[in-house]
Chains A and B, each alone.
Chain A
Amino acid sequence: MEQAQIAREISRGHGFSTNVIRPAAIRQFERSMGSFSARTDAGYVPRAAQPVHQCARLQDDGCEQRADQNALPKERLFRPLHLRTGDDDQARRLFVRPDYRLRAARFFPARDGGQLFIALRLFDRRLANLGIAFLLLCQRFWDFAIAGLPQMLLLFLFSCAAYTLIRAIEARAAGAGHSRG
């Protein structure tokens, strides 16, 4: 039961932690390891470093199979994409692999780069940098970035599309004739 709880926490992105522990397990731990720390942030890893951390740990422990079983609710979100790939089993393996999670997180700074270019076009440099700094400090964006889901890819593509539109509007406003938007 404890193993299942820990596996659920791993699949939620909380690492090797548990919300349920028996008093007997605490005594066993204290007998073999010494004092027991009840801190909830024991072994805390900053959000930004979690994809790398989890990737390394999951590969070292060989528990990709457990992560695969626990990722079933998430993969249902990708059903249309599975149909596009044509190979359902291959798509399932790709989406739950830890390095795929890391790959998804890379789109977060890429998205912020796109937003920075947009902000530089619309505002001055100081305001643009401040806005991007606040975006980078937003916890909810990091939650999505490390989830292994494609929201950051969506936002990255949307940033690029918005940037091209802004360039087209600028060209139209400058009287450059017909835009390429």
Chain B
Amino acid sequence: MGAGALFGLLALAHGLTIWNLCRVLLFSAIYFRPRGRDAAIMAAVFMLFYGP
């Protein structure tokens, strides 16, 4: 959740940093178990920060 929030702030500072988030999401989807759950939480928190 913290990483998602910080990547959201990072994306607000510059849009290109979304590419970093994509790589982190891919990594966390593969590495953390159950697969995909933590990546989905991170993406949701990111959208919460970046969406508005």
Interface positions of A (Cβ within 8 A of B) = 80, 84, 150, 153-154, 157-158, 160-161, 164-165, 168-169, 172, 178-181
Contact = CB atoms under 8 A, between A and B. Distances in A.
Interface residues of B, number: 22
A154 B6 CA distance: 10
Contact of B38 (A80, A154, A181): A181
B7 A161 contact: yes
Interface of B: 1-3, 6-7, 9-10, 12-15, 17, 20, 24, 28, 31-34, 37-38, 42
Given A157-B10, A181-B38, 13 more contacts: A150-B13, A154-B10, A157-B9, A158-B10, A161-B2, A161-B7, A165-B24, A168-B32, A169-B31, A172-B33, A178-B32, A181-B2, A181-B32
Contacts, number: 53
Contact of A154 (B13, B28, B34): B13
Dominant SS at the A interface?
A: helix
Nearest to B2: A164
B13 A179 contact: no
A178 B38 contact: yes
A164 B10 contact: no
Contact of A168 (B3, B17, B34, B37): B3
A139 B5 CA distance: 31
Given A80-B15, A179-B38, A161 B10 contact: yes
A56 to B, nearest CB: 28
Nearest to A153: B13
Nearest to B33: A178
B14 A154 contact: yes
Nearest to A165: B3
Contacts of A180: 1-2
A160 B9 CA distance: 11
